[in-house]
Amino acid sequence: MRLAADVVRVTVPATAGNLGPGFDALGMALGVADEIEVRAVASADVEISIEGEGADSLPRDETHLVVRALREALDHVGASQVGLQIHAVNRIPHGRGLGSSAAAVVAGISAARGLIAEPEALSAEVALEIATRFEGHPDNAAPAIYGGATVAWMDADGAHAVPLTVADEIETAVLVPRSVLSTTHARSVLPELVPHKDAAFNVGRAALLVNALAGRPEDLLAATEERLHQHYRAEVMAAAPAMIAHLREQGLAAVVSGAGPSVLVLGTDLASKGLATGPAPWAEGVGDESWRCVHTVERVPGATATRP
């Protein structure tokens, strides 16, 4: 397959995985996004400039996730590899459970889609399959691709996802701490086996959560209870459980965002409850942390790729 463009601009949102009980299955796009411009060049070189998150730490070579995913996507459709000039404006916090690695992978796949002559060859379904090879599970990649809220699963045929209905009145807010936590470390403390009663508990709450998102916000507090991962991870992110307890005591449906340590809140009229975007002075010191908030009101679209 040939390339049909030499420049593409990609926007891809942050995501929250799990949403509490939907471990490795449910996810939602959030109102903060990375923007990446990719230019295909005749040389074999890779040049990367980065603003914002990761500017001092991310690689500037073929090992960068955007480059790796882009090349994987080009190989998948049989397109020629080219030199790349990439400029990334990273706004998604890293190491905070907001899907920054999934966003980078989806950005690379979306950039490839924007460059090739037949973008339908990298459909959402194909993009999810490629992204899951990198991520290992599709719960963050799915909302990054489809937008809104999604449920994702894997079977013998690969990764799959479908959008969920979310009522217009339901909003999200994410409280982001200063501290970071790698997903690998967060997953390492999870047990291989869990009690049957805890698995059954989560199945019921996840089903209730899907119904609550569709238009029963009064059920969100009960629907976001869970027993499979948050309490096991408490030992590696002490601030998150303190914040979750603080918020749930006020009747707010708070959970760990993805692998943490950020905290996601699902509800209505969240700005009036102190969860507007920006610093959160009321939260200072909760869990011995400083927190800032990202408040999202409307449905967030998935990744987009445009040719200027």
The reply, when asked if residue 101 is annotated as ligand binding, is: yes
State residue 5's pLDDT score. 83
Report the alpha-carbon distance of residue 195 to residue 12 in Å, rounded. 37
Instruction: Quote the tokens at residue 257.
Output: 């965002």
Report the alpha-carbon distance of residue 10 to residue 303 in Å, rounded. 7
Report the alpha-carbon distance of residue 207 to residue 212 in Å, rounded. 9
The reply, when asked if residue 248 is annotated as ligand binding, is: no
The reply, when asked if residue 136 is annotated as ligand binding, is: no
Domain assignments of the chain as residue spans, ordered by start: 7-165+299-306, 171-296
The reply, when asked if residue 78 is annotated as ligand binding, is: no
Same fold, 7-165+299-306 and 171-296: no
The reply, when asked if residue 94 is annotated as ligand binding, is: yes
> Model pTM greater than 0.75?
yes
Instruction: Quote the tokens at residue 304.
Output: 């987009």
State residue 235's pLDDT score. 85
Highest CATH level, class, for 7-165+299-306: alpha beta
The reply, when asked if residue 152 is annotated as ligand binding, is: no
Q: Bridge-partner residues for 10, per DSSP? A: 36, 305
| pLDDT lower than 70: segments of the chain | none
The reply, when asked if residue 117 is annotated as ligand binding, is: no
Report the alpha-carbon distance of residue 43 to residue 45 in Å, rounded. 5
State residue 182's pLDDT score. 87
State residue 29's pLDDT score. 98
The reply, when asked if residue 251 is annotated as ligand binding, is: no
The reply, when asked if residue 93 is annotated as ligand binding, is: yes
State residue 181's pLDDT score. 85
Give the model confidence (pLDDT) of 5-28 as tens digits.
899 999 999 999 999 999 999 999
DSSP characters over 152-169: EEEETTEEEEEEE---TT
State residue 308's pLDDT score. 85
State whether CATH 3.40.630.30 applies to domain 171-296.
no
